[in-house]
Each structure stands twice: as structure tokens, then as C-alpha cells.
Amino acid sequence: MFNNTPEVKFAINAVRQAAELVKTVQTETAENALTKGDKSPVTVADFASQALVSHLLMQSFPEVVLVGEEASDALKEEGAEHLLEQVTGYAARYIPESNPDTVCELIDRGAVDPASRFWTLDPIDGTKGFIRGDQYAVALALVEDGEVKIGVLGCPNLTDGYISEPKGAGTIILAVRGEGTWMAEILEDEEADWEQIHVSPRTNSSEARLMRSFESGHTDVSKIDEIASALGVAVDPVRMDSQAKYSVLAVGEGEVILRLLSPKMPNYQEKIWDQAAGAIVLEEAGGRISDLDGKALDFTQGRKLINNRGVLATNGFLHEAALKALRDVGA
């Protein structure tokens, strides 16, 4: 069993509470979204989730930096008063003293650059899946000197770590460096039944189950098809949004995730909160993650993975074959 340190306890509790909040918002007001400059939707749940995790971090480790996806600027714009009111209302269910000013302050604690030791949060990874009522994840990770030490994924619509079931029990995945990857239902019970999980042992690339997103804006769909052909893949892909895909790989129900550069966004750089929790979840389950050139993901360069190009995640056994396929098709 993993060592239940104060940091581990905080991460589990924060993700469970944030996932519960987010699930509530999805049920009640999922259609309320606005659009950021990069055209990705941001919901009330994004902001309220980040405010809640920021609040919980201040209570447990007030000196530790939070690097989050969101900033409150959009909530302060003219015409956004109703949105801010909604965010404050949901935050107040967990933070009774919430008001618009304190909620914005909590959100903006995440709008900083990383320190040598910091938590990074994606309050909802897979926002479009969230809006559809499908898969998304609350992703939280602790990074120390560039190495991810703890990662937690809260997947409210994922049962047993891989079954898409919006009204199911939900899954929380925990990885601790050197102590494996563990899975439980999203419960508020501290005595949850944690099960250690491992990647698939498949070594034949023709049997590789590729994880494919519904959302194609940040990848190159035609290149992924070429890579699948180069690998000789003969099985259907698994379609799923968000870092929930890392849960599926970690539990052994998929083999390959490809995050290619979209022709529409050739200079796109991955954000650290999009990969940190999923990376350690996969690695501690026995898998491997790198960029498209086989380089380790570099979490020492601020809020983006500026030294990396795209992402390749596999069960480990198929990683070299996937890298070769990437080279063969010029991806």
C-alpha cells in the first residue's frame, strides 16, 4: 500500500471534493460556458474547482505554490457578473465565507509561475467532454525539482478506471513516486478500498488499442491514422476525452496515447497541468511517457513543456515501436 503522507491525504481529499463539486455543476448547469481567447470553453465548474483546491491547499500547505490553468480575468469582465455569481455560489457550498472578491483571489493564486516545489492543477481536463456530459478529469500533481512526485486523477464518469459510465461510481486514481498506481471509487470514505493497477502486457503492435479523443483541435487526426497503419493496428480505437485516458492505460485497457501537433497549431506547447498527473499515473503503473522524439517530459521550464514536442504515452512494451512509427510517417 502507498504511504499515506499529509501530501497524499491532501491530494486525495482535494480531488475528491473538487470532483464532487464539478459533478454537481455538470448535473445542474453544464450548458453555462464562456469562451476563452484560445476558443476552449471554460465553465463555472473550472473556476469553482480551482478556487476550492486553492482554498484547501492554503489550509494544508499555505507556503506551497499552486500552478493552475485558470485566472479570474474572464470573471471580472463587463457582462460576466452572473457567471461570477454562479462560481461564488458553488464555491460557497464548500467555503462558506466565499464572496466574489475572495473567490477571485483564490483562483488567481494559481496564476503564478512554478517554484522548485509546487502543485499543478487542471480543475477540469476535457472541458468539452464535461459539457457533453461525458468524460473529464480533475487532475492534481505535486512537482519537486522537475520530477512529479504525486499525481491524482478524479474521473467522476469513469467506472473501474476504464468504463465510461456517467451515472456510475466514478474513479479516483493515485500515483506516488516509487509506490505504484492505485485506484478506488470516488468516495469521501478515508477507508476506501484501494487496488493497485498495472498496464497491459501486450507486445504485439497489431493489438494496440489507441486512445483517441473526440476533440481533435490539438492533434493531427490524419497523422494518427498513418501511425496506426504503420503499427499494423487491427483493433478499434478507444475514444475518450481528457487525462481519463491515462487511467485507461494504467488499468491495462489501452496501450497508446498520441498527442500530435495540429497543422492548425504547429507551435502549440503542452501545459504542465495537462500532463503531470497523467504522466506519473502511467509511469507508476509500469508504462512509459515521452515526447514525440522520445525525450522525457521536462517540468522545469515554467507553465509549459517548452522543451518537448507533443506527447507519446504507452504501456511501455510498445513505446519503441510507436517511436519508430512516428519517425516512419514523419510525425
Cell of 151: 499525481
11 and 191 Cβ atoms separated by less than 8 Å? no
CA distance 243 to 193: 22
| Per-position DSSP letters for 122-177, written without gaps between them | EEEE-HHHHHHTS--EEEEEEEETTEEEEEEEEETTEETTTEE-TTS--EEEEEET
- Catalytic site includes residue 102: no
- Catalytic site includes residue 46: yes
Q: Which of 46, 122, 134, 291 is catalytic?
A: 46
Q: Which of 88, 120, 127, 171 is catalytic?
A: 127
Rg from Cα positions in the chain: 19
CA distance 48 to 46: 6
Place of cell 488567481: 108
65 and 118 Cβ atoms separated by less than 8 Å? yes
Secondary structure letter of residue 271 according to DSSP? B
List residues with catalytic annotation.
46, 127
